[in-house]
Structure 1
Amino acid sequence: MAPIFLTPPTDPHTALSISAQANTFLSAQKTLWSSLPYPLSLFLNTESQEKWTSYENLFLALLRTGDHDSAYTCLEALTTRFGKTNDHILALQGLYQEATAKNKEELEEVMKAYDEVLQEDRTIFSVRKRRAALLRSVGKPEEAIADLTVLLDASPTDGEAWAELSDLYLEVGALEQAVYCLEEVLLVTPHAWNMHARLGEVLYMSAIKMEGGEQTKTLSESMRRFCRSIELCDGYLRGYYGLRLTTSKLLEMLRDGKKGQVATSDPVTGDLAPPSVATVKKLNQLATAKLGEIVRRGTAGEKGWDGYSEAELKAAKALIDSDTQKIER
């Protein structure tokens, strides 16, 4: 099985790469066993987890690239194998209907279908997730939040649902709740470097709206989250970008040293004292140097440095250039 089919289409480039090989993959599956009667077909059927993972990833990629006919072929194969009443298949069928809906009325029909399924069994979490995603896409984040809250009451260790709920809270401006949800994600997946960076971003957004010692404390925590993300994944551009932002802001505040501006430690609540100016300065220099290296080598397309998108590299370069211009002035 080609490795590319075992990778979920998390970005447009991956989706295009997978969907481009759809005809080759589907043709290869049309072997003699498919035309034989049951149970003879069982003896020639190549059954494996990789095969059905490939079918699902191809299905998702084809939906993203708009090849609905081929996507339906994949869905039919999955449905035949696992059955129409399988929880996961129900969610995939709903996803196909969402992708092919031509107007708001057809999306409402999909919503009714989700409601009917959940009326029969409220514990089908895959369908409830799809319902929440559909609610969000049609501009009803509050209802989507309610749906995910019900799901998490029954399944509090679902990291994916906590992450989606955090995004929804962020969408409606509830930053404190968004932070709480991301902390729950990290309880489930403590080594997810992207989630540490995401928490650092939300904390940074919260800090911008604060003043005094509370702002310093929140910025310091944001900086620590970005540090943890790059500790877990060296070369993580998003982590270094956030570290550069937070340390630059902290340097301004710590150097000013205004009364009430700098937070202090609190052993009762577990608050940590803000880092020293020397520590923040070193981290700022580290982030600057690493971002510069990523931009230089990523732009040149060097082997091992070609995983960054053009938008990421431009944003990193703009951040470095903006601070350089401040220094020159």
Structure 2
Amino acid sequence: MVYELKDKNDEALCIYKNYIYNDPSDLLIRAKIVKLKKKVEGNINNVIQILNDHLKEFPVDVEAWHELGEIYLKNCYYTYALYCFEEILIHAPKNLYYILSCAELHYTISQYELSSKYFCLSLKLQKNNLRALWGIVLVNLSRYGNKKGKNLNDNVDVILTKKCIDRLYNLYDKIPTFFIGTLYFNI
């Protein structure tokens, strides 16, 4: 860590590689190696390969899945990022951050049906979740905004959208007007 603080990343990487040689199952050292390789090399493909190799050996490392998912997101590989976040959901099925991330990624790749299901799941876990409420409204607007025909699910989705909009109105009504004014002036 001293070498890292002095910005001698190559020396720190050598020390960490020696540690990993002695104890290959040390997840903290593996995470530090990935972080340093990302910083030193700058080649994101190598970092992706290192993380994929690591996850073949340690598929329950949630932090590595998250890191890989964030790298994929940053590089606009949405389906790969979605896979990573869904792997995390296997280990943390009630984590709202990952549920909402999956919902938004499904929305991004135009899988509106799955996106709606993930948003509904997050509402089941937290009934006043603004991200989920707005997500359902946007999903249904995107899904049915351009369609002129009627589907069997239209009625259910219209009712769901109306309930979400009503809940949004109720939630925003509870915010005092002076608070909104304070936010406006502080921006």
Match of 2:108 among 192, 205, 214: 205
Show the 5 A alignment for 1:250-261: 250-253=143-146, 255-257=147-149
Aligned counterparts of 1:164 and 1:298: Cα–Cα separation in 2:
36
Structure 1 226/118 Cα, relative in aligned 2: closer, same or farther at 3 Å? same
Structure 2 length as normaliser, TM-score? 0.78
For 1:206, the aligned partner's letter is I
| Number of residue pairs matched by the alignment | 181
The aligned residue for residue 276 of structure 1 is 153
Structure 1 236/108 Cα, relative in aligned 2: closer, same or farther at 3 Å? farther
Show the 5 A alignment for 1:104-123: 105-123=7-25
The aligned residue for residue 56 of structure 2 is 153
The aligned residue for residue 186 of structure 1 is 89
1:233 maps onto 2:114 in alignment: no
Aligned counterparts of 1:130 and 1:176: Cα–Cα separation in 2:
26
> Which of 176-185 and 109-118 deviates more?
109-118
Q: CA deviation at 1:295?
A: 3.6
Q: Is the 1:114–1:127 Cα contact (8 Å) retained in structure 2?
A: yes
Q: CA deviation at 1:112?
A: 3.6
User: Whose RCO is larger (CA < 8 A, sep 6+)?
Assistant: 2
Taking only aligned residues, the RMSD between alpha carbons, in angstroms, comes to: 3.1
Structure 1 length as normaliser, TM-score? 0.47
Aligned counterparts of 2:113 and 2:126: Cα–Cα separation in 1:
20
Larger radius of gyration: 1
The aligned residue for residue 214 of structure 1 is none
Q: Is the 2:20–2:29 Cα contact (8 Å) retained in structure 1?
A: yes
Q: CA deviation at 1:134?
A: 4.1
Structure 2 residue runs without a partner (length 5+): none
Q: Is the 2:133–2:164 Cα contact (8 Å) retained in structure 1?
A: yes
Show the 5 A alignment for 1:17-56: none
Q: Is the 2:82–2:105 Cα contact (8 Å) retained in structure 1?
A: yes
Aligned counterparts of 1:279 and 1:97: Cα–Cα separation in 2:
59
